[in-house]
Amino acid sequence: MKEKVVLAYSGGLDTTAIIPWLKEHFDYEVICCCIDCGQGSELDGLEERAKLSGASKLYIEDLVDDFCDNYIIPCVQAGAVYENKYLLGTSMARPAIAKRLVEIARKEGATAICHGATGKGNDQIRFELGIKALAPDLKIIAPWRMTDIWTMQSREDEIEYCHQHGIHLPFSADNSYSRDRNLWHISHEGLELEDPASEPNYDHLLVLGVTPKNAPDQGEYVTMTFEKGIPTSVNGEKMKVSDIIRKLNDLGGKHGIGIVDIVENRVVGMKSRGVYETPGGTILMEAHQQLEELVLDRATMETKKDMGNKMAQIVYEGKWFTPLREAVQAFVESTQQYVTGEVRFQLYKGNIIKAGTTSPYSLYSESLASFTTGDLYDHHDADGFITLFGLPLKVRAMKMAEVEKNKN
């Protein structure tokens, strides 16, 4: 009986060419597994394509709600943003995919898992760290790093290889952006984006929305509610998280929200330039942050910001299945107990404009914050506070003056 390999299958040219390649070089029975994290029409026709390419079986696994509830929401609650811009759309999905690949491999009795990530990117790290953490006994096959037997270097090479193995599918050799899509975002790399000096061709590039310039001239008000840091409704309509993101994607795309052009530092040591569209995610992150401003105390906010940066690094580097991620997430979840309330804002030409936030747990006191004197705050108390708070600065200045005097 042949050994089995589970292939992370997208249906694209790369992973389609890998199917006959695995059979030719390893004599594996190839079981394809496509993980649906919300990539939409990209899943059409996959079963026929996988079978025509030589796979014995195809799993199409719907992970949309799992992705939203167990990966996206913890990152939203943490405020995890990589290098101040990237909302981790690809990064968050990889551990969810790796976990399901391992589950399918166990179900099928497979001895290996194969992925089509390149040897220059972050995804190879994310997939493989996830697999190692969950199934250290499984072999991992990464064709793009096996240059002694993976000799294909271009789309033309892959198409020719497929034709040689009797696979005639409607793949084209034309140049296009390299994209990754799920419910949270879509990323774009390649073509003019490879030169940081070039302006993105947004008319050709954008998929989920329009530029702020092409957005409506009329703004649109949106209201969201949260319970313990989890979004529960949009414009008065209660929905599960995945449907909330879909709704926000529509609204954000319409108004040019969440388009990011970034040169980021990959884990493997190089810089890469890409454009990310995250319309709904950008709105959700901003609305959650607006509510936190109202209910979290200063010290917790400061520490949580550090933890958010740490969470972003953990997720970006593929270290989801680690004690550190669990510990950071546990801290974040403890801060979300009172992140409940309503956020209202206006979407207008790429902007999310505050229009009012309320919470039963608000720490804002109008009587304290106003310029009038209330019972809780005596202006004279500030004298002693500033004296003590500024004492180290005063002492240092006095000592430095004394040093200078002694020099003279």
Domains of the chain by start residue, with CATH: 4-64+89-164 (3.40.50.620), 178-296+339-358 (3.90.1260.10), 374-407 (no CATH)
pLDDT tens per residue, range 103-127: 999 999 999 999 999 999 999 999 9
pLDDT tens per residue, range 124-162: 999 999 999 999 999 999 999 999 999 999 889 999 999
Spatial CA neighbour of 352 closest among 235, 246, 212, 229: 212
In whole numbers, what is the pLDDT of the chain averaged over residues?
A: 95
pLDDT tens per residue, range 220-229: 999 999 999 9
pLDDT number for residue 61: 96
pTM: 0.94
pLDDT number for residue 374: 65
Active site amino acids: 14, 94, 123, 178
pLDDT number for residue 406: 92
pLDDT tens per residue, range 52-106: 999 999 999 999 999 999 999 999 999 999 999 999 999 999 999 999 999 999 9
